[in-house]
Amino acid sequence: MARGNCPECDAEIEVDDPVIREVVECPECGAELEVVEIEGERVKFSVVEMKGEDWGE
Amino acid sequence: MITVGLICDRVRWDEKALIRAVEKRGAKPIIIDQKSIFLDLTGNLDNVPEVDVYLQRSVSTIKGLYISKLLEEKGHIVINSFEASRICADKVLTTLALAREGIPTPHTLIAFDVDSALRALEKLGYPAVIKPTLGSWGRLVAPLKDPQTARAILEDRVFMGALYQTFYLQEYVEKEMNRDIRSFVVGDRVVAAIYRVAAEGELRTNTALGGRAEPCPVTAEIEELSLRAAKAVGGDGVYGIDILAGPNGMMVNEVNHTVEFHTTVPVTGIDIPGMIIDYVLERVK
């Protein structure tokens, strides 16, 4: 289990077995975050950019 | 050891499940972050990790298409193929491919001008539905209830830019129990299906818009229609087929080429990511 802080509200967020670019939602403020750095048990998040008009499946 | 390159711009639940499925099968996943690469169109691809097979998982449709095309051009296997993805990404091309194969699909017209779109709508009848030719998750899919509201919505689309000025106009199909069906094709099999029930007061069933997923049995009709639709857009790949069950039977509405399954796996208990990776590894052999 790794931990990091939400860049929006500073809440501590736990991520199980994180992967770079993994998207998680902050349980406190609901911001959509992306894992950008993993260092041992610490992860760094950044807020996900706005949705693009060609996004989809 | 077989290496599988996952081309991603975001690693969601779906991509993480695929990564774990690759590892579980003794192969090596390599995440290729779309944002971290550049591509040499006239030279070689030494900037992109070389793997045995690439799985295209980009959320950004256009970027994903370019990367797939380039990798194929250099002789690599990409799932899904560029050609099939290009057809699925463009609703006009999808409808044409389905119609060519005689697969039931809603009556659809396109127009490029507000007045001609209104004439097309007279032919189609009200209510109708307008959709962007490119896009997903139900985004900007809108009901056109009468000529007055249709004109207002069409005029708005004109101001939204070139992408929205091809008006894709479709008959409105009354959905049984306000739900449609999403089936999952992996290779030559239909591995799962769900009902997508639209949220209260919502026309669109997309789970991204609050639609609820429920298990759906893969009937002979769903299986046949799904496999035919997958074949019509290019076959041999992984597809999500949207099926409407209306008063005149089942119709294929859309085919998706970068299918999401995070809602379907918990509802059906079917290991779709595992089945996708089994298929991907099979393609390398």
Q: For B170-217, what is each residue's pLDDT tens digit?
A: 999 988 889 999 999 999 999 999 999 999 888 888 887 888 999 999
**pTM of the complete model:** 0.91
Inter-chain touch A20–B257, beta carbons under 8 Å: no
A30 belongs to a structural domain? yes
B102 belongs to a structural domain? no
Closest CA to A54 of B163, B240, B9: B163
Domain around A29: 2-47
Q: For B23-34, what is each residue's pLDDT tens digit?
A: 999 999 999 988
Domain around B186: 174-284
Inter-chain touch A57–B256, beta carbons under 8 Å: yes
Q: Does one domain contain both B116 and B183? A: no
Our CA-based measurement puts residue A17 at a distance from the nearest CA of chain B, in whole angstroms, of: 10
B7 belongs to a structural domain? yes
Q: Does one domain contain both B215 and B130? A: no
Interface test with A, best of B11, B30, B259, B276 (most A CBs within 10 A): B11
B269 belongs to a structural domain? yes
E-strand ranges in B147-248 read 167-171, 179-186, 189-197, 212-215, 238-246
What's the structural domain count of chain B? 3
Domain end: B171, B195, B212, which one? B171
Q: Calculate mean pLDDT across residues B92-101.
A: 98
How far is CA B210 from each of CA B22, B129, B213, B263, rounded to the nearest angstrom? 30, 19, 10, 11
Indicate the pLDDT class of residue A21, thresholds 50, 70 and 90. confident
Domain end: B145, B171, B197, which one? B171
Domain CATH for B144:
3.30.1490.20
Our CA-based measurement puts residue B92 at a distance from the nearest CA of chain A, in whole angstroms, of: 15
B218 belongs to a structural domain? yes
A21 belongs to a structural domain? yes
Q: Does one domain contain both B199 and B143? A: no
Retrieve residue B139's tokens. 């985004």
What's the structural domain count of chain A? 1
Of A47-56, B57-66, B87-96, where does mean pLDDT reach its minimum? A47-56
Domain end: B171, B187, B220, which one? B171
Closest CA to B259 of B116, B24, B27, B57: B57
Domain CATH for A8:
2.20.28.160
Closest CA to B241 of B208, B249, B10, B232: B232
Inter-chain touch A56–B11, beta carbons under 8 Å: no
B100 belongs to a structural domain? no
ipTM of the complex: 0.73
Residue position matching structure tokens 């998680």: A24
Predicted confidence at residue A50, as pLDDT, reads 65
Q: What distance in Å separates the CA atoms of residue B70 and residue B143, rounded to the nearest whole number?
A: 38
Contact A48, A54 (CB under 8 A): no
Inter-chain touch A35–B9, beta carbons under 8 Å: no
Closest CA to B241 of B231, B232, B230, B249: B230
Q: Which of A19, A48, A53 faces B19 most closely, judged by CB atoms? A: A19
Identify the burial level of B149 via C-beta atoms within 10 angstroms of its C-beta, where 0-12 means exposed, 13-18 middle and 19 or more buried.
middle
Predicted confidence at residue B246, as pLDDT, reads 82
Our CA-based measurement puts residue A11 at a distance from the nearest CA of chain B, in whole angstroms, of: 21
Q: Does one domain contain both B129 and B147? A: yes
The residue type of B122 is: E
Predicted confidence at residue A56, as pLDDT, reads 84
A12 belongs to a structural domain? yes
